Amino acid sequence: MQKQIDALPDWTFKVEEVSAGVYKLRATHNRGPSIELSGVDPEELLKRAQKDAEEMERSLKISRPAP
């Protein structure tokens, strides 16, 4: 399952069932950074990844040079 989150338009979230009841999530920013999580609840993985991506997004904005 691939998902876009409106609040994070530069991120793509992909969840795969890698074993019976075990899921792997990979969130990728269009500039390259990514987050990987695994667990048994795909909705919880999405929530955790969204929180992590929001934090990473703030870091990316801080590190960008001012125009």
pLDDT tens per residue, range 8-39: 999 999 999 999 999 999 999 998 889 999 99
Q: What pLDDT is attached to residue 31?
A: 87
Q: Spell out the residues 6+ positions from residue 65 whose beta carbon is closer than 8 angstroms to its own.
A: none
Q: What is the pLDDT of residue 27?
A: 97
In this predicted structure, what is the pLDDT of residue 65?
A: 58
Residue of 18, 5, 6, 10 lying closest to 46 (CA atoms): 5
67 has pLDDT over 70: no
**Number of domains present in the structure of the chain:** 1
> What distance in Å separates the CA atoms of residue 50 and residue 64, rounded to the nearest whole number?
21
- Residue type at 15? V
Per-residue pLDDT at 1: 87
CB 27 within 8 A of CB 53: yes
